[in-house]
Amino acid sequence: MSTVRSTCPYCGVGCGVLLARDSAGGLTVTGDPDHPANRGRLCSKGSALGQTVGREGRLLVPRMGGRDTDWDSALDHVADRFARTVERHGPDSVAFYASGQMLTEDYYVANKFMKGFVGTANIDTNSRLCMASTVAGHKRAFGTDTVPGTYDDLDQADLVVLVGSNLAWCHPILHQRVLAAKAARGTKIVVIDPRRTATCDGADLHLPLALGSDVALFNRLLVAIHQGDALDRGYIAHVDGFDAALLAARSGGTGPTGLAPELITEFCRLWVRTERVVTVFSQGVNQSSAGTDKVNAILNCHIATGRIGKPGMGPFSVTGQPNAMGGREVGGLANTLACHLDLENAAHRSALREFWDAPRIPDAPGLKAVDMFRAVAKGRIKALWIMHTNPAVTLPEADAVRDAIAACDFTVVSDITAATDTARLADVLLPASAWAEKDGTVTNSDRTISRQRAVLAAPGDARPDWWHIAQVARRMGFGRAFDYDTPAEIFREHAALSGIAGSFGRDFDISALSDLSDTAYAALPPTRWPVAARRGGRFFADGLSFHENGRMRMVPVTWHAPVADTGRRFPLRLNTGRVRDHWHTMTRTGTSPRLSAHMAEPFVEIHPKDATAFGIAPDTLVELTSPSGRSVLRATITDAGQPGTLFAPIHWTAETAPTGRIDALVAAMTDPVSGQPESKASVCAARPFGAAWYGFAVSSRPVTPVADYWALARTDAGWRLELAGREIPEDWESTARALFDLPRAEIQMLSDPGRGVARLAFRDGARLVAALFVSPQPVAVMRDYLSELPQEDVLTGRAPADRPDPGPILCSCFGVGVNTILSAIESDGLMSVDAVGAALSAGTNCGSCRSEIAALLVGARVAEAAE
């Protein structure tokens, strides 16, 4: 079979991929050399896509009340329940929770269904947790939600400032573009993040500011711009609010950043004197109770200097999800309409109603995500449809959200698997086609629309998401408006609507694509919007905005601290975010052994000072509590963060590590303008978990652990498992047999009950099928070696002397571990990332681990110098 061009379904970089089916029904995935986002490169997640397309865990048929059923019964039931709920309790008693990972066509249909036909604006999306502050900040400054930057600007900048962005791990291909610009033209890189991250390796300057203090920093920059004479007076002639913004920045706008004054001065000097500056920002900015103000504090500096919309300069919000941008185009949020039309604007509403031939368009915004689930908890929302997102894990106060969904009268979940915390609560489960099985478009961070194309047959009865919605809509009597047979029809309709929006002067106009034939849609190359007769190219270089008076706007902003106060009960601040090789709740990346090797367990980073203060030893388990929940995580003691702050990843769930659900701890406090939760500055307390025993297990077969603490990860040979408990079981053999479901397998065992140590291996003939290692301290065995389920005697927990322990895998493409790299650095005197690559191949394929290799090199040099 020939190769098909498509788009990576993970992050908002939107890399082009080439997909080829292999003879075994699998998929070979390589980078598309012709795609403008990545020019052939892929990161570790994109490179491992082929490992995530199997049938394992897929939801194959619709389910109702826990039983398999057929599509007609499921769809009739959903339509009936939605219709009856609307009839009895009004349209606002139903809600839809969508996702920035839906294709534009799916997303458009969902919005049309809710806002046009059900007649409620109660449709919000996980973008509320992600891009809402940027959307609100853009609208305040530009009058519409327009991203002025493009990826080419990153190649052409002389200074790239990364604010609240761990680009090396979260947008790896963009990070590589920035590093390439550094190599080619000496681009300086500044990282503004309370934490030292992988992105700091390769940066010229790191500003470890206090959590939440970005407004204070950028207000200082605005003052420095004014003092340093970097204002663009000609541009400011087009700007409203300059004086007010400067005044606010000067007076009271500059709270404590916790940064050394010289560091601030150096940053300001660099920014002020560099014309070509791109300020990239992400969740350290958006996910804050001051998120919208942070966005405007950044935009203010670019507007005041006229450094916007020109080559190599501008503010650049990078989108997280593959179609975060497309979701904004179709009006996915409860306070927006399709094609960047405004819900508050009566002319826009009536144009939309006419275009859709819809009975009504709501004239007031619907419930934003956090409020939506509060309304579910209160019973005000009685029917809920959740599509392509896992809110029982990822919304703040996640335990309360889980309870609310469980208690909701009627919940529909469209997903590709039933094994999610949310899907387990659904009344009706609808099986969705996964990315490689369906057609549609996504828009990446730089407004480039790319096609996703089907190459695999959907397994079982799985169907695309747009079809789920259109089928229910038809059954509710809205047939004419949802009479679609293909995504191409939906795309054309959306493009035609954008022309009407364009005639209102809106930015999102792709009307030139509204008569695309099916063949042309099939062949659509990556295309950056706007694509319209009346407008093209870049935004804002001319100083014209989308506000009614056409002027750009600077917004006066003043600093405030994160909303939740630390105090005696909850003295620590919890920062949260992502790791390199996992995607959100891991329903896909968790099925890849390669991606699960980098970080196989949830953890919390804790500063050495706090570890001492709270009595926490390395690698032990820590219990975190907050006003909303509890969590148990492995302690990583590091000075990467600041004293008084913790960092924990968001990826683990009841499926993979039940006490690792980090949003159980996060408070549902939101930005007053955008409604986006403050996901990175909750308060909590930490104390030792007090494990009586720790365990590590490997198994060739699935396991269902029962323990106070466990965390499960996929390996090439099966699964690996961390365990711990507060009480020592009476008998390790029966515990292990139950864990592995091996009542009769041949056992080999070493135990020393006096020391609390036990080691058990189970064999099927000569083949090792499972092993458990127990100790009163964190278990010290060679995990990566044991995960291979080796044939040798494993009860020592170590590899034979001639097989050194590779250590935790750093390079997932070639499976190269930390120890292997460190010993090569030492024995061969390697001095550079390229030298490590030449010796071990590590870092030579996707390059996602290059910054971590760089950090190992620095560490090795420091250690050598100290000797």
Ligand X SMILES: Nc1nc2c(c(=O)[nH]1)N[C@H]1C(S)=C(S)[C@@H](COP(=O)(O)OP(=O)(O)OC[C@H]3O[C@@H](n4cnc5c(=O)[nH]c(N)nc54)[C@H](O)[C@@H]3O)O[C@H]1N2
CB of 14 to ligand SF4, least distance (A): 6
Q: Whose CB is nearest to Mo ion?
A: 320
Closest CA to 60 of 438, 418, 551: 418
Residue positions counted in the chain: 867
CB of 69 to ligand X, least distance (A): 18
CB of 690 to ligand SF4, least distance (A): 39
Buried/exposed code over 364-383 (b: 16+ C-beta within 10 A; e: otherwise): ebbbbbbbbbbbbbeebbbb
> What is the 3-state secondary structure of 715-728?
CCCCEEEEEEECCC
CB of 288 to ligand X, least distance (A): 6
Place of tokens 């902003």: 557
If contact means CB under 5 to 8 A according to the sort of partner, which of ligand X, ligand SF4, Mo ion, none does residue 284 touch? ligand X
Closest CA to 259 of 305, 191, 315, 203: 191
If contact means CB under 5 to 8 A according to the sort of partner, which of Mo ion, ligand X, ligand SF4, none does residue 46 touch? ligand SF4
Cα–Cα distances (Å) from 714 to 29, 702, 794, in that order, read 20, 9, 20
d(CA 134, CA 279): 13
* CB closer to ligand SF4 out of 44 and 85: 44
214 interacts with ligand X by CB under 6 A: yes
* CB closer to ligand SF4 out of 444 and 498: 444
d(CA 765, CA 438): 45
Which ranges of 539-618 does DSSP label H, i.e. alpha helix? Answer: 593-596, 608-614
Which ranges of 305-435 does DSSP label H, i.e. alpha helix? Answer: 324-329, 346-356, 369-377, 391-394, 398-407
Closest CA to 599 of 10, 44, 12: 44
CA atoms within 13 A on the CB side of 762: 23
**CA geometry: angle at 193 spanning 192 and 195, to 5°?**
145
In the complex, the residues that contact ligand SF4 under the rule CB under 6 A are 8, 10-11, 13-15, 38, 42-43, 45-46, 171-173
165 interacts with ligand X by CB under 6 A: yes
284 interacts with ligand X by CB under 6 A: yes
* CB closer to ligand X out of 307 and 388: 388
Question: Footprint of ligand X on residues 558-587 (CB under 6 A)?
Answer: 575-578, 580, 582-585, 587
If contact means CB under 5 to 8 A according to the sort of partner, which of ligand X, Mo ion, ligand SF4, none does residue 38 touch? ligand SF4
Q: Per-residue string for binding with ligand X, 285-304, x by CB under 6 A? A: --xx----------------
> What is the 3-state secondary structure of 189-213?
EEEECCCCCHHHCCCCEEECCCCCC
CB of 321 to ligand X, least distance (A): 4
* CB closer to ligand X out of 291 and 778: 291
* CB closer to ligand SF4 out of 450 and 645: 450
* CB closer to ligand X out of 351 and 416: 416
Q: Identify which range of 123-131, 326-334, 563-571, 799-807 contacts Mo ion by CB under 5 A.
A: 123-131
* CB closer to ligand X out of 158 and 415: 415
Are β-strands 682-688 and 757-764 bridged in parallel, bridged antiparallel, or unpaired?
A: unpaired
Q: Identify which range of 15-23, 317-325, 647-655, 802-810 contacts Mo ion by CB under 5 A.
A: 317-325
d(CA 702, CA 592): 14
d(CA 103, CA 657): 30
Question: Footprint of ligand X on residues 172-201 (CB under 6 A)?
Answer: 192-195, 197
414 interacts with ligand X by CB under 6 A: yes
Give me the DSSP letters along 783-798.
Answer: HHHHTT--SS--TTSS
Q: How would you class 455 by CB atoms within 10 Å of its CB: exposed for 0-12, middle for 13-18, buried for 19 or more?
A: buried
CB of 595 to ligand SF4, least distance (A): 11
CB of 43 to ligand SF4, least distance (A): 3
Q: Identify which range of 18-26, 210-218, 257-265, 812-820 contacts ligand X by CB under 6 A.
A: 210-218
Residue type, 538: R
> What is the 3-state secondary structure of 616-673?
CCCCCEEEEEECCEEEEEEEEECCCCCCCEEEEECCCCCCCCHHHCHHHCCCCCECCC
If contact means CB under 5 to 8 A according to the sort of partner, which of Mo ion, ligand SF4, ligand X, none does residue 173 touch? ligand SF4
* CB closer to ligand SF4 out of 168 and 404: 168
126 interacts with ligand X by CB under 6 A: yes
CB of 41 to ligand SF4, least distance (A): 8
CB of 43 to ligand X, least distance (A): 8
If contact means CB under 5 to 8 A according to the sort of partner, which of ligand X, Mo ion, ligand SF4, none does residue 469 touch? none
d(CA 660, CA 456): 34
CB of 317 to ligand X, least distance (A): 10
If contact means CB under 5 to 8 A according to the sort of partner, which of ligand X, Mo ion, ligand SF4, none does residue 14 touch? ligand SF4
Q: Whose CB is nearest to ligand SF4?
A: 46
Report residue 169 as tokens: 């791990």
CB of 445 to ligand SF4, least distance (A): 10
Q: Per-residue string for binding with ligand X, 673-712, x by CB under 6 A? A: ------xx--------------------------------
Residue 287 · residue 320 · CB < 8 Å: no
CB of 476 to ligand X, least distance (A): 20
847 interacts with ligand X by CB under 6 A: no
If contact means CB under 5 to 8 A according to the sort of partner, which of Mo ion, ligand SF4, ligand X, none does residue 840 touch? none
CB of 393 to ligand X, least distance (A): 6
Q: Which of 74, 94, 159, 170 binds ligand X (CB under 6 A)?
A: 170
Q: Identify which range of 6-14, 197-205, 313-321, 850-858 contacts Mo ion by CB under 5 A.
A: 313-321
Helix axes 465-473, 71-89, angle to 10 degrees: 60
Q: Per-residue string for binding with ligand X, 349-388, x by CB under 6 A? A: --------------------------------------xx
If contact means CB under 5 to 8 A according to the sort of partner, which of Mo ion, ligand X, ligand SF4, none does residue 338 touch? none
If contact means CB under 5 to 8 A according to the sort of partner, which of ligand SF4, ligand X, Mo ion, none does residue 471 touch? none
Mapped onto helix, strand or coil, the DSSP state of residue 751 is: strand
d(CA 493, CA 357): 13
130 interacts with Mo ion by CB under 5 A: yes
Closest CA to 125 of 391, 339, 361: 391
* CB closer to ligand X out of 632 and 761: 632
CB of 15 to ligand X, least distance (A): 12
CA atoms within 13 A on the CB side of 847: 17
320 interacts with Mo ion by CB under 5 A: yes
* CB closer to ligand X out of 498 and 642: 642
Place of tokens 């005639």: 503
d(CA 753, CA 779): 15
- Measure the CA dihedral 339/343/345/347, to 10°: 60
Report residue 679 as tokens: 């996901």
d(CA 828, CA 168): 27
Residue 794 · residue 761 · CB < 8 Å: yes
Residue ranges in contact with Mo ion by CB under 5 A: 130, 320
Residue ranges in contact with ligand X by CB under 6 A: 11, 99-101, 126, 129-130, 163-166, 169-170, 192-195, 197, 211-212, 214, 282-284, 287-288, 320-321, 387-391, 394, 414-417, 420, 432, 434-435, 465, 575-578, 580, 582-585, 587, 650, 662-663, 666, 679-680
